[in-house]
Structures are given as structure tokens and as C-alpha cells.
Amino acid sequence: MSQDVEQYRIGKEPFYQPQGDEVTLYEAAYAARLPVMLKGPTGCGKSRFVEYMAWKLDRPLITVACNEDMTASDLVGRYLLDREGTRWLDGPLTTAARIGAICYLDEIVEARQDTTVVIHPLTDHRRVLPLDKKGEVVAAHPDFQLVISYNPGYQSLMKDLKQSTKQRFAAFDFDYPEPGLEAQIVARETGIDFDTAGRLVKLAGTARNLKGHGLAEGVSTRLVVYAAQLIRRGVAPRAACRTAMARPITDDADIRATLDHAVDAIFA
Amino acid sequence: MSKPVDARKREMHHPQVQAWWREMDCGFTQVADVFEECLYEALTAFSKREMDDYVAAAKTLSRLGRGPEPVLAFLEAWPSVAGAVGTAALEDVMATARALQASPNGHAIAPFLQTLAPVARRLASREQLAFYLDIARELMARTTGSIHGRHATIASPGLPAFFRQAPQLVETLPMAGLQNWVDYGIRHYGDHPQQQEDYFKLALADSRAVLQRERHGTLFADAERRLDLYLRALWRDPQPLIPYSNAYHELRQIVPYYDSLGMRLPDVYDARNGISGLDRYRATLAHMAGHRRWSSPQIADNWSPFQRLAVEFLEDARIDRLLMREYPGLAPVLLALHPKPGEDACDPETTSCLRHRLAMLSRACLDANHGYADPVLNETVAAFHAALADGPSGTAQMAGLALAYVARTRRPSDQLPRIHFDDTVVDYRDDNRQLWAFIEEGDEEEAFDTRKEAREAEEPQGLPPRHYPEWDQASESYRPDWVSLYEALHPAGEAAMIDRLLEKHAALARRLMRLLDLIKPQNKQRIRYQEDGSELDLDVAIRSLIDFRSGVTPDPRINMSHRTSGRSIAVLLLLDLSESLNQKVAGGEQTVLELSQEAVSLLGMAIERLNDPFAIAGFHSNTRHEVRYLHIKGFSERWDDTVKGRLAAAGAGWSTRMGAALRHAGAALAQRQADKRLLLLLTDGEPADIDVRDPGHLHADAKKAVGELAAQGVDTFCLSLDPKADDYVQGIFGRRHLVLDRVEQLPEKLPLLYMALTK
């Protein structure tokens, strides 16, 4: 079974601004082939970080966005019916294990807990993936690594990882960068001037202060980048902030009014 | 000049005034004393014809036989009234005075004219003033009493009080609001003279509550959450916000302040200079948050009050400057709210100009385009900006600047008692009480020994009352906090009595049990992986087919079936425990109360078997001040002897104020987590209470309460034992009601009704 490995390669260096020593740490973890878990609020750069590391380590990257309807066979693979009878198709996890890619399971808690158990044999000393339906045991390629990410901020009892899953990973904690750094990131990512980027980050900060007081999550760096992109396209800053930063995160009229006021106060 | 005894013969200095005085032909010495002065003032503004009208009107008023007060008030007030609303309004004013004179309310003419000037200044147009006069005349017409119905003979008790309050009322209320406020007073206190007077004097809690509801501006209560979010989001400084009212302190207005307990804000802000009330609140909060962030207390023992005033002004300016730096969008708001004193507005020869100078300095610090020429001021402003150029500076540095500025601009006239206040009050700033620390206590004039009175807190009897509004159909508005509801546990009695009742109905109970077993729970649940089932489970079937084709043993459990489980329902049974329950059932020995107890016992037993969350409560009322709500069974309580004991002890008395009890029961029910919430009301009569004469009123209120509950997702159903209930029960509960003609059937019907409703 030949796989087009090249399609999973990251061609160009993605922009990633390190916040600390996470790059070195990750390199060490990869050298030891430790599975890695990335935790942090939405839109703070988890996925970007994985992309960047895949590029840096020159490994193919297979990303799976997890969801509630995902079954184990969506990860591992399944038989399909065709004219001749049945045919086996590898799932993304199996593919990654065969070709030695980094397999990135995004938002792993969205998948049901019994689904995530299939990764267990891959994430300990065995490094194998048994395909019970097919009667095959795939030994993982020496370069294979598993990375998962999730957002612990959901605060839902239903959406947590099993202890037996958690305790197979080296964990990296992510958060929104420091304001100065975040402004640099936004300016670098979108090409707007540093002053505007600083104001956008300040506005995001006001929304983040409301986390837990009507907002489940603050404004993510991703939304700040969206706002900056709108501004780059010639949208007036206030309108851009309302569209990209205030409106998406809340339907609560009072919070919206407060954020709108913050927009006015910051972009005078 | 000697004064002749007869005021008519008084000599005036000016011949024309003398002619008018002769024309007046007035014998009041007090009027003669002020006549000339008043006319001089009027002469500067009025034409000859207007002067003639003015004097003629004064003459009319002096002939009313009401003493000198009306004419004195008119002479003094009219020039200023005419300045505000035009001389044409004289006709309206005199028409009102004549109407008052023609009714028994002549004594209200003096207060009417005495407050006319401030009222007219505020209303500022003839139309608005006419509106005000109409309201006053309507108040007069509707509150002037008569004994035999033909002639109005009893003066309106509220009218003079209304006129005396009028300046404050027009200050806070728009005209439509004033009309509502007056209308409310007439309708609720129309036939209670003392209370009516108190209402219009603003001495009743009720009248203040309605005033608060009708006033213009942004109410704190409406904006509270936004302000809280504002502090959190923009300043990361969440503080408790506490409103205070300025409405009843005309002389000494409280200024916003903060202390360890929280930030105090006025209860209402009107829009000003194009800045909305909400933004004014935000500016005030921002200023206080700025102080909390950047100010440090200064030792003030060695500074004079003037010096402290100067330090406060400059420190406030620094805070505002920093606020603008932090959030540039605040700049236009603060500049619009900060007064802009004219440079020559204050005359330093006759008045103390310190405040004026400081306000100018403060303005200049904030506003680059201040345009003030004073060199010392400009130097200080430059020093101020230099101090803030790199960093937030500090309170001590501002104090140094302020003291130097005061020293350089000091004038002897600063000590004069007449102080220039115009345009010097910056009302979004707090009173700076946190800015000062004193080493020695008690060298402030207003500081006196703080006597700590350890007052014994009274042990509260039961829970504090809950206040509920009541719907007023006449005005289509809620009467705020109208009903006081006291809730308590029902006293316990002998549980065995309920058991005896149940024994008596043993046959019925057995029949009920059989019925109960038939009630199937509702929720459909899918059961997958069944060999036998009602439907094919397609996902599983395809998987099995694939397994089959690929030579693996297929899973034969490819069907699914449905099961119903779980009743998600919460029920509250509300019992009307009014006096009428004590009546005997026609043709029987039992009272309605006993029958109700039997019925509720059977129902309680039945529901216990179904395991639905179920609560029982009773209510009765003794005027709006005392609605009692008695818990008999709580949702989490079992149907045991405690509950049975309470039910056994249930007694009947007083009246049926249904709306408040419905609202309270609905509030309890709305908090239950259930798909369906049912409020079952068992009553034997219509809503009534001894302090309500119009039976339609409580009907309308109960209907409104039912509507409110529906909006909260609570279904209300009424089981009425009143054979005449058809007349009203449909109006209140719509189709959700049942009238039981034969009350003795109640024990049987109630559980059946429950089952029918929840099936």
C-alpha cells in the first residue's frame, strides 16, 4: 500500500513565535518519541505550534479534528464494500504509524472516551497498533509520534480525558501570550502596524477579564488576527473589532455593550 | 419716609409706579413694601401693555380674600416666569388661579404661585407649562370631595402638597411621568385624605417608588450589570457597586465616593452635554478606578482646606489624564462632562475665585485647546505635562505642583464668604476622601467623637418578607413592591388524622393505585444491539454485512427498540386556605377544608408512588401587607408523618390574594430542573382581599401572574370548588381550569385530575 507522504509535509515555515522554551522541550520529547499533549484555550496557537514543529523536525503531519460521532474505525481504518467484495482502508492513525508521521488529534476530548482508548497501545513502550478486524498488528514507524490537544476550559464533567489516557503524555501548557508579545505576533502575522496591534491586544485583554463572568472564553489570539486582517483590508478599526472580536464571542446584550464601549474607548 | 397706616396711601418714588399702585387699590402693607421693587424688575422686561396686564392680574389676586400671600408670590414670581415661558402664559396661570378659587381649594393658590417660578424655569415653554397646569387641575378635580354628591365641598388634601413639591417633581420627571405619578396617587389614595397628602408630599414609600420608576435618565438598577462588567473588563477592578439617592437631599448633594465597602454611585444619571447616563456612570467608575490604581493617600494635617482643594483638583486632573492615556476614547466623554469656566467669569474683587482658578487649571490640564491666557496657569500646565511625560507621576508630585500654584495665585479675596461655584463642579469625580490621611484624629471641624452604639440587633422573626409587584389594570402597569409575602413552615399537627382519612377512602385508594400503575413514563429511549426489536439499526446492520462478507462472524444484534423512561415533571400544589374553607359542604357534615385534606392526602400518596417531585403549600392573605405562604411539603421531602402532620394541622382563615402567592409558588417551581412544571391551584373562591374594593383588580392581577408564570415555563391549572366560578375562572386561567360542582367528589377527582394532566 503506497501512501503519498509528500502531501503531509509542511512546505513553508509557518510563523510561530515561541513564548518560552517549548520548542526545545518539544524537540527533546520528540527525540525520545514521547507522546505529547498540548493544553490551552482556543485560538492560542496550539495547532500552529504542532505545524511549526513538524516543519522544524521535517516530519509529515497528519491532523485529525476529533468530534463526538467519531468511532475507533474512523481513526484506525475500516473495510469498505466494493465490486470485488471488501477492501481495507487505513485510517489516519494507521497511516501515520506506517509512514512515520506526527499524528495530531485536535480537540481530543470531543471524541468519546471509548474511542480514544485505541491510541493506548501506540502511546506506551509497545508502539504498536493492533487492527483486530484485519488481523494485523502495525508496528509504528520509528519516526512516528502522537500529539493530542485539548482545551481544559470547557469545565464540563463529560469532556475530560480518562486518567489512563492522560498519563501517557508529556504535557505542554499554552496560554495567550503576554500583551507585548501577542501584539508582535499579530503585527507579524498580518502586517498591520504595531500600535494598532497593541490596541487590538488590549481590547482582547478586556474581554479576557470577563472570563467566568458571562464569557466562557476570552477573545483568542486567532480572533485578534482576524480583526487585524479586516483592518488590513481597509475596514475601519471599530467595525473590524466589533465584527471579528466582540460579536463572535457573546450574545449577551450587556457584555456586548461593554465590549462595544471598550472598542470605543480604545479606538478613539 | 414715613409709612401711612393705610397701605393704599403709600407713596411710591416713581410716578408711573404710583399710578399702578393706585390702580391696584390694595390694602396689604406687605404688598406695598415690595410693590415698587417688583415693578422695577418687571419694567426692564415688559412692555407697557404687559405691565398693565401684570398689575391687573395682581389686583385680581389681591381681591380673592386669601390674604397677601398669593399676590406677593405672584408679584415676585411673574417676571421670572414670563422670562421663561413668555407673557402669553399669564392667561393660563390666571385661569388656573380662578379655577382654584372657584373650588374649595382656594388655599392652594399661594403654594401654586410660590413654586411657579422654579417650575416654569425648568419647563421653559408655554406648552409644557400648560401641560403642568392641566395635571394640577385634573388632580384638583379628582380629589376634591363632596358630601352630597352635588357640590364639591371638601378641599383636595393633596393639592397644596403637590404644588409645594412641584419644583422637585418637574426636575426629576418628564411631563408624562409626572402625569402617571399624579394619576397613581389619585387612584390609590383618592379616598384617604391623610395618606393622599403624604403621597403628594413624597412622604410615602410608595410615592417615592413610583417616582423612581417614572423618572428620566439612566437608572442605576438598569445599568448595574453593565457597570460591573465595565469595571471588570476595562479596569480589572471589580468592586461592589452601591447606589445612593440624591432625590431627597436638595441642599447637600452627595458626591460619588468609594471606601472599603465598595463604590457609591447616584441612583440615576441624566444625559448631559450629549453624554448618555450610562457613559456618565462609566466615567465616574473610571475615575474612581483610576484613583485606586494611581493615587496614594497624603498626610494632610499641615495643609489648609484651600491647599487640600488645590491638591484634589490637580490630582483629579492627573487621574483623568492617565485615564485618557489608557483609553483614548474616554477623552471626548471627560471633556464634555468637565465644565469649561470662562476666564473672566469670576470677579476677584467681590468673590472668592479659588475654585474658579482651580477648575480652569483642571480644564487646561485635560484640554490642549483651553485657550486660557493666564501665564501662571500655563506654566503650571506645562509643569503638569512634564511630570506626566514619562510615567504616571504620583500624588506627592501633584501636591507639590498644586501647593506652588496656590501660593503664586493667592489673593486676599479667596477668604471672602461669597464663593464662585458656577462651572467649577466636576461631577464625575468622587469626593477624594481616600486621598487624605491624618496623623492626628479630630482636627476636622466636622469630625466629632465617633460614638459606637452597640445596638442589639433584633432577632428576626421568621424570614424577612418577600415583596412582589401587583398588576394594576387601570394604569396597565405594575405597582412596585406592593405585596409583602411571608413564608413559613406550616405548624405540625397529628399525622394519624391523615392516615384515618386515607383508611376511610381505602377503596378509592386501591382504585387509584391500579390507575397509577397504568401511567407510563414518557421519555423515549433507544436501545441498540437487540436481536429482536421494533426497527432495523442501519449502522449496525451494514457493519454486520461487511463482517459477513469479509468472512468474520457477523453480529446478529442488528435491531433496536424503544423504551420510555423517566417522568421529568415537577408539580406544586397550592392550596387556598382562606376563611371560606370552613364552610360546610351543602347537604353534608364535612367542611370544604376537610374534603380538601382528604383529597390532598390521596394525591400525596399517589404522587409518592409515582415518585414525581412534588410540593404542597398553602396561602392566605390579610391585606397586601401580609400574605402568608405556608410550606406543607417540600420537593425533596418524602410523604411521611412530618408532612402528614402539617397537612392535618392546616387551618383556614382570612382572604385570597392569589397573585402574590402564584408568583411566589411559580418562582419556587421555576427553579426546578424538569421538562414540565405544573402549578396546581386548588381554590374555593375568587381572588379577594379586604383592602381591595374592586374585585376586577385582583382578577386582573391573578391573570397577569398566570401569564408571567407561563413565560417562565410554568403551567398553571386551577381546580375551583366554587360553583359560580365559571364567571371569572376562564378569564384568569384560560382553558386551564376545572370547576367541580359537587365538592364531595373532590377526593376522587383531584388525583384523577393530576394523572390526566401529567399523563
Secondary structure string (H, E, C) spanning B601-657 = HHHHHHHHHHCCCEEEEEEEECCCCCEEEEEEECCCCCCCHHHHHHHHCCCCCCEEC
From B704's Cα to the closest Cα of chain A, the distance in A is: 27
Instruction: Label residue B1 by pLDDT band (50, 70, 90).
Output: very low
Instruction: Label residue B446 by pLDDT band (50, 70, 90).
Output: low
Q: Is the pLDDT of residue B309 over 70?
A: yes
Domain ranges of chain A: 5-173, 179-266
Specify the pTM.
0.62
pLDDT > 70: what percent of chain B?
A: 92
Q: Each residue of B366-389: pLDDT tens digit?
A: 998 988 988 999 999 999 999 998
pLDDT > 90: what percent of chain B?
A: 14
Write down the pLDDT at residue A158: 54
Q: Is the pLDDT of residue A8 over 60?
A: yes
Write down the pLDDT at residue A5: 84
Is A152 touching B (CB cutoff 8 A)? no
User: Would you give the end-to-end CA distance of chain A in angstroms?
Assistant: 61
Higher pLDDT, B523 or B326: B326
Write down the pLDDT at residue B457: 47
Highest mean pLDDT among B295-309, B680-694, B731-745: B295-309
Query: CA B103, CA B141: separation in Å to the nearest integer?
Result: 9
Is B418 touching A (CB cutoff 8 A)? no
What CATH number has the domain spanning B496-518+568-758? Answer: 3.40.50.410
Mean pLDDT of B493-503: 84
Write down the pLDDT at residue A32: 93
Chain B residues near residue A209 by CB distance under 8 angstroms: 232-234, 236
Q: How far is CA A195 from the centre of its chain?
A: 28
The torsion angles phi and psi of B437, rounded to 5 degrees, stand at -125, 140
Residues of chain B with CATH 3.40.50.410: 496-518+568-758
Phi-psi sector, A58: left (phi>0), alpha (psi -120 to 50), beta = left
Higher pLDDT, B750 or A246: A246
Q: Which position has the grid cell 485583554? A: A205
* Contact in structure between A148 and A108 (CB atoms under 8 Å): yes
Largest CA distance in chain A: 69
Q: Is the pLDDT of residue B521 over 60?
A: no
Identify the closest residue of chain A to B329 by CA–CA distance. A265
Residue of A80, A207, A267 lying closest to B233 (CB–CB): A207
Write down the pLDDT at residue B461: 61
Chain A residues near residue B236 by CB distance under 8 angstroms: 209
Cβ contact A210–B232 (<8 Å): yes
* Of A160-169, A238-247, B67-76, B213-222, the least confident: B213-222
Identify the closest residue of chain B to A83 by CA–CA distance. B549
> Mean pLDDT score of chain A, rounded to an integer?
88
Neighbour count for residue B654 (Cβ, 10 Å): 18
Q: Is the pLDDT of residue B688 over 60?
A: yes
Interface A-B: count of C-beta contacts within 8 A: 65
Mean pLDDT of B327-349: 90
Residue of A86, A207, A254 lying closest to B549 (CB–CB): A86
Mean pLDDT of B162-169: 89
Instruction: Label residue B292 by pLDDT band (50, 70, 90).
Output: very high
Chain B residues near residue A206 by CB distance under 8 angstroms: 233-234
* Contact in structure between B83 and B38 (CB atoms under 8 Å): no
Q: Each residue of A186-230: pLDDT tens digit?
A: 999 999 999 999 999 999 999 998 887 778 788 999 999 999 999
Instruction: Label residue B454 by pLDDT band (50, 70, 90).
Output: very low
From A244's Cα to the closest Cα of chain B, the distance in A is: 18
Q: How far is CA B261 from the centre of its chain?
A: 23
Q: Is the pLDDT of residue B628 over 60?
A: yes
| CA-closest candidate to residue B572, choices B496, B674, B655 | B674
Write down the pLDDT at residue B85: 86
Instruction: Label residue B152 by pLDDT band (50, 70, 90).
Output: low
Query: What is residue B654's DSSP assignment?
Result: S
Chain A interface test: which of B229, B366, B539 (most A C-beta within 10 Å): B229
Q: Is the pLDDT of residue B594 over 90?
A: no
Mean pLDDT of B6-22: 84
Is A85 touching B (CB cutoff 8 A)? yes
Query: CA B197, CA B195: separation in Å to the nearest integer?
Result: 5
Q: Is the pLDDT of residue B87 over 80?
A: yes
Beta strands B477-489; B466-472: pairing state:
antiparallel
Write down the pLDDT at residue B150: 63
Q: Each residue of A103-142: pLDDT tens digit?
A: 999 988 888 777 788 899 999 889 999 988 888 999 999 9
Is the domain spanning A5-173 CATH 3.40.50.300? The answer is yes
Query: CA B154, CA B145: separation in Å to the nearest integer?
Result: 5
Q: Each residue of B112-143: pLDDT tens digit?
A: 999 998 898 888 888 888 889 999 988 888 88
Q: Is the pLDDT of residue A266 over 80?
A: yes
Residue of B225, B234, B546 lying closest to A254 (CB–CB): B225
Instruction: Label residue A1 by pLDDT band (50, 70, 90).
Output: very low
Mean pLDDT of B104-108: 87
> Mean pLDDT score of chain B, rounded to an integer?
84
Write down the pLDDT at residue B317: 94
